[in-house]
Amino acid sequence: MKLYCPEEECGIFGIFGHPEAANLTYLGLYALQHRGQESCGIVSSDGASLHAHKGMGLVADVFGNQEIFKQLPGEGAIGHVRYSTTGSSVIKNVQPIMVDYSRGSIAVAHNGNIVNAQIIKDELEAWGSIFQTTMDTEIIVHLLATSKTSSLLERIADALQRIRGAYCLLFQTETRMIAVRDPHGYRPLCLGKLGNAYVVASESCALDLIEAEFIREIEPGEIVEITKNGMTSHFPFKKVAPAPCIFEFVYFARPDSTIFGKNVYLVRKELGRQLAREFRIEADMVIPVPDSGVPAAMGYAEESGIPFELGLIRNHYVGRTFIEPQQAIRHFGVKIKLNPVRELIKGKRVIVIDDSIVRGTTSRKIVKMVRNAGASEVHVLISSPPTSYPCYYGIDTPNRKELISSSHTVDEIRRYITADSLGYLTPEGLTQAVGTENTSYCRACFTGDYPIKFPQLRPEPQLGLFEKES
């Protein structure tokens, strides 16, 4: 039985010190919609109390009515877009979570996944805690409410000392906003400024939309506190080797974002170039699986000299196929999302490029589609190595059994997807394309080498709280 639902594939956004905080948060969430499409919410603060609006569905649907923003007054706001696995698709699990406790009100938005959630929950329940949601994020709220330390910063740090896993967090109280990135820095989080207001977002594309200036990324293990007096930065956790998620580059982040110090589009294009160096194929055209395969296919075409064509046209009003919670919808989704340009493809040798194969469903349907459109040969190239291991740190990959490459060879997968040839980027090629200056990315989905063992039972000893950085 799955008791805890990881807060996977989420996006968070917050702004402090702006009269239109909730409105700007809405725009920020709009830019982060690709990180989660199931539900969303905003909590604002007017200095005296918190106000919330949340709902199931897309940002534009949940916040489609201007009247809603009258219910979200104040100069501080945090927001969240969420995708989670089946079973937890209920309104009570929509974030931000908002609670009242002995010190006032607090709201929290979380992107990531806590790997020791069940253990902590069992302990808390044994001490009498009552949980209202099935989200691992609620554990953090319980831990900080029961912390014996005094200031909010200390309570947050104290609570997080117990937590293992991936988390980018945004807290909103009546008077402050606090942003945290876990010590491994699995998920991206950046800091910006809009006039005198501070902005925090999962990806820089959200800053661009509201015309905020990108200041820097929030560091792994950093806690940033923003009040009306400005911003302070703290590093209360024991330093560990950073492990930013390489799959953010491969698939998850938006190409116009800068994460982990690099622009995602340029990295993806380089993945395609590297693919061309590794796989020379005689073909008439390179076509991407839109949108995720576009930059890699462009890189491949540039490097190989084979013309790039948009051989598959995407219906832009359909969401990311994989992000539909039900298998039946996902199967149907590929067809409603993509259609081949028959006149272009007919009689041609085609290379189709996508970023990854998870279950193999998408590639199989696409190869069939391209072949039915008259292609004489269909070669598939994937701009990452085989995804053989599940992610426990916030990317929604299925369990091992469902990951086709965990139990099948490349040739077996080629036969399953009915391609003439299939090639995956090598792990070395991936490293080279992403850049070797930061060699400590988390690549557990490709290698099975997990930076935090799952589940880690005992918290490691930590440094003293609040050694102030600046």
Whether the CB-CB separation of 144 and 156 falls below 8 Å is answered with yes
Whether the CB-CB separation of 143 and 43 falls below 8 Å is answered with no
Token pair of 403 as six digits? 């990951």
Q: How far apart are CA 272 and CA 268, in angstroms?
A: 6
Q: Which is nearer to ligand AMP, 106 or 245 (CB)?
A: 245
122 assigned binding-site residue: no
Does 410 interact with ligand AMP (rule: CB under 6 A)? no
Give me the least distance between CB of 246 and ligand AMP, in Å please: 13
Pick the binder of ligand AMP from 296, 357, 367, 433 (CB under 6 A).
357
245 assigned binding-site residue: yes
Give me the least distance between CB of 210 and ligand AMP, in Å please: 26
Q: Which is nearer to ligand AMP, 63 or 441 (CB)?
A: 441
Site for ligand AMP in 423-462 (CB under 6 A): none
40 assigned binding-site residue: no
Q: How far is CA 269 from CA 247, 294, 338, 421, in A?
A: 15, 8, 22, 22
Q: Which is nearer to ligand AMP, 48 or 329 (CB)?
A: 329
Q: Residue-wise over 423-461: b if at least 16 C-beta within 10 A, else e?
A: bbbeeebbbbbbeeeeeebbbbbbeeebbbeeeeeeeee
Q: Which is nearer to ligand AMP, 79 or 394 (CB)?
A: 394
Please report which helix (H) or strand (E) contains residue 225, including its range: strand 223-227
Q: Is 205 a catalytic residue?
A: no
190 assigned binding-site residue: no
Does 356 interact with ligand AMP (rule: CB under 6 A)? yes
Pick the binder of ligand AMP from 72, 358, 381, 444 (CB under 6 A).
358
Q: How far apart are CA 44 and CA 115, in angstroms?
A: 29
Pick the binder of ligand AMP from 248, 354, 390, 444 (CB under 6 A).
354
Does 324 interact with ligand AMP (rule: CB under 6 A)? no
Does 7 interact with ligand AMP (rule: CB under 6 A)? no
Which segment (148-156, 306-314, 354-362, 458-466) binds ligand AMP by CB under 6 A?
A: 354-362
Whether the CB-CB separation of 201 and 28 falls below 8 Å is answered with yes
Q: How far is CA 111 from CA 15, 32, 56, 105, 323, in A?
A: 17, 12, 17, 21, 16
Q: Which is nearer to ligand AMP, 215 or 410 (CB)?
A: 410
Does 289 interact with ligand AMP (rule: CB under 6 A)? yes
How large is the greatest C-alpha to C-alpha distance in the chain, in angstroms?
A: 72
Does 121 interact with ligand AMP (rule: CB under 6 A)? no
Residue window 364-403: x/- pattern of binding to ligand AMP, with contact defined by CB under 6 A: -------------------------------xxx------
Token pair of 209 as six digits? 């939309």
Provide the 3-class DSSP secondary structure of residue 51: strand
355 assigned binding-site residue: yes
Secondary structure, 3-state, 404-425: HHHHCCHHHHHHHHCCCEEEEC
Q: How far apart are CA 379 and CA 292, in angstroms?
A: 17
Residue numbers in the known binding site for [4Fe-4S] cluster are 245, 391, 442, 445
Binding residue numbers for Mg(2+): 292, 354-355
Catalytic (active-site) positions: 10
Residues that bind ligand AMP (CB under 6 A): 251, 289, 292, 320, 322-323, 354-363, 395-397
